[in-house]
Chains A and B, each alone.
Chain A
């Protein structure tokens, strides 16, 4: 019986497990909600809650983490998002987040720029970046 319970707990845990983390510079002390993250990555806002400038940076291409982030946080499909970004870009209504690379490159950029916000599969625990949200 306990075996089954452990098994079920493990299955549940695998469903709720964290796929990725949203990271900012460790000195960024602004409050960042899920809605803020959604709006930052949809180029609806361009500053953090403390009014300081924010630059959202994207993962490259169609990586698993990007698909997951789009689905869970931005609540869209990759093609809806592509169309949305194209609308912004070609009408001057906003600047879509620039794809800057994979985990390592995003961590490096965010660790060196207080204005940046990105998302990664594995956030380092060495204090170089701060995790503000997990999805």
Chain B
């Protein structure tokens, strides 16, 4: 699908060479960082300095095709993908009145900063707080409808998207490589009034995840079969994430009077089916002061709360004899402790200072501390990062 849409857009760009007015823009973030403790890892960094995990370059081309139609591609090269250029966005836009329809590869409006998450220049952090902005996916292929309207001095933006993402290889929040197939609908409503902005978002997606859990479960099922124990299909369905329905609810409020700004964001992800993936309740609050035309200082605090499904819940709806249930209970224990979605409640604190040395470029220094209550392993990390975000 991605190849097809990429091809289509290339074709469009080639076939409108005379009429279309091409416009190029871009942004870049050159970020370096390291964790402070030996053995700690975070955001792709370890104890020795690295520049690859968060460095990225993007070039956007926009062609106005006339009659309210335009085509846009955004090519992004990420250090963590060895700077292989990828079409991050590629879409056609059609405007009518105060409405816009986009179709193609688009970014999902999961949270407040999701759609412009790669453009570091537009927010004060080096990266939005991972305690909320830690997702399986950012973009999908689909279509969006955006409507802008006004209530006196207040202006509102409504957006609805429908899309699908099927990626061979994405990083799970726990840092495992998984295959993902996801489709669903996302809604967003934004209100702006003077220095205030409020946002609510809702998304429902059907998700299938293929990870090392799948072969592990199959092996276990085979092994039990040899011992004469038949694992009921219901149990397998409960453990695997296949066409499971997830709801994401997010809300954010923001205040900015040019000298002082503060915002808070909350997300809640729940699932409608029995699953091995925990429900989450995460939030952060952040505040910053623009000391003068150049300097900004800011701080952020966040918490993540996991409502873990108990092992016994994986036995919901499973009918089997007592012996089999006992064996499955043990299996559930070992599968969940395998830790695909391991981790417990966690806390996140960051402080940073920014220096705008050019109207289009900001130098940033950030210290982030992350603490997780997990008993085994140690995802805790203190990370120092710095770099430049720019737009051109």
Given known A44-B155, A89-B60, contact A80–B258 (CB-CB < 8 A): yes
Question: Which residues of A sit under 8 angstroms from B98, Cβ to Cβ?
Answer: 45
Question: Which residues of A sit under 8 angstroms from B140, Cβ to Cβ?
Answer: none
Choose among A39, A76, A90, A92 the residue that contacts B102 (Cβ–Cβ < 8 A).
A92
Choose among A78, A89, A92 the residue that contacts B91 (Cβ–Cβ < 8 A).
A92
A-B contact pairs, 9 of them (CB 8 A): A39-B155, A45-B148, A76-B258, A77-B258, A77-B290, A82-B121, A82-B391, A87-B119, A91-B116
Question: Which residues of B sit under 8 angstroms from A44, Cβ to Cβ?
Answer: 148, 155
Q: A86, B116: Cβ atoms under 8 Å? A: yes
Given known A35-B153, A92-B72, contact A86–B391 (CB-CB < 8 A): yes
Question: Which residues of B sit under 8 angstroms from A39, Cβ to Cβ?
Answer: 150, 155
Given known A39-B155, A90-B27, contact A83–B258 (CB-CB < 8 A): no
Question: Which residues of A sit under 8 angstroms from B95, Cβ to Cβ?
Answer: 46
A89 to B61: give the CA distance in the assembly, Å.
10
Cβ of A79 < 8 Å from any Cβ of B? yes
- Quick one: closest A residue to B356, CB to CB? A79
Question: Which residues of A sit under 8 angstroms from B391, Cβ to Cβ?
Answer: 82, 86
Choose among B27, B157, B356 the residue that contacts A86 (Cβ–Cβ < 8 A).
B27
Q: A83, B122: Cβ atoms under 8 Å? A: yes
Cβ of A14 < 8 Å from any Cβ of B? no
Given known A39-B155, A82-B360, contact A87–B258 (CB-CB < 8 A): no
Q: A91, B115: Cβ atoms under 8 Å? A: yes
Cβ of A125 < 8 Å from any Cβ of B? no
Q: Mark A78-111, 1 if CB is under 8 A from B, else 0.
A: 1110111011011111000000000000000000
Cβ of A16 < 8 Å from any Cβ of B? no
Question: Restricting to B103-151, which residues have a CB under 8 Å from any CB of A?
Answer: 106-107, 115-116, 118-119, 121-123, 146, 148, 150
Q: A86, B155: Cβ atoms under 8 Å? A: no
Cβ of A62 < 8 Å from any Cβ of B? yes
Q: A86, B258: Cβ atoms under 8 Å? A: no
Q: A86, B122: Cβ atoms under 8 Å? A: yes
Q: Which residues of B contact A (CB under 8 A)?
A: 25, 27, 58, 60, 72, 74, 89, 91, 93, 95, 98, 100, 102, 106-107, 115-116, 118-119, 121-123, 146, 148, 150, 153, 155, 157, 194, 256, 258, 290, 293, 356, 359-360, 391
Interface size on A, residues (CB 8 A): 22
Chain A nearest CB: distance from B388 CB in Å?
A: 15
Q: Which of B122, B157, B256 has the most CB of A within 10 A?
A: B122
A80 to B260: give the CA distance in the assembly, Å.
12
Given known A44-B155, A82-B359, A92-B89, contact A87–B122 (CB-CB < 8 A): yes
Choose among B27, B146, B150 the residue that contacts A93 (Cβ–Cβ < 8 A).
B146
Question: Which residues of B sit under 8 angstroms from A87, Cβ to Cβ?
Answer: 115-116, 119, 122
- Quick one: closest A residue to B192, CB to CB? A44
Q: B93, A79: Cβ atoms under 8 Å? A: no
Question: Which residues of A sit under 8 angstroms from B102, Cβ to Cβ?
Answer: 92
Chain A nearest CB: distance from B117 CB in Å?
A: 10
Q: Nearest 9 A-B pairs (CB), nearest first?
A: A91-B115, A83-B122, A77-B258, A86-B391, A90-B119, A86-B122, A87-B122, A87-B116, A91-B116
Choose among B116, B155, B258 the residue that contacts A90 (Cβ–Cβ < 8 A).
B116
Chain A nearest CB: distance from B214 CB in Å?
A: 35
Choose among A75, A79, A90 the residue that contacts B60 (Cβ–Cβ < 8 A).
A90
A17 to B27: give the CA distance in the assembly, Å.
39
A89 to B162: give the CA distance in the assembly, Å.
22
Q: Mark A33-62, 1 if CB is under 8 A from B, else 0.
A: 001000100001110000000000000001
Question: Which residues of A sit under 8 angstroms from B359, Cβ to Cβ?
Answer: 62, 78-79, 82
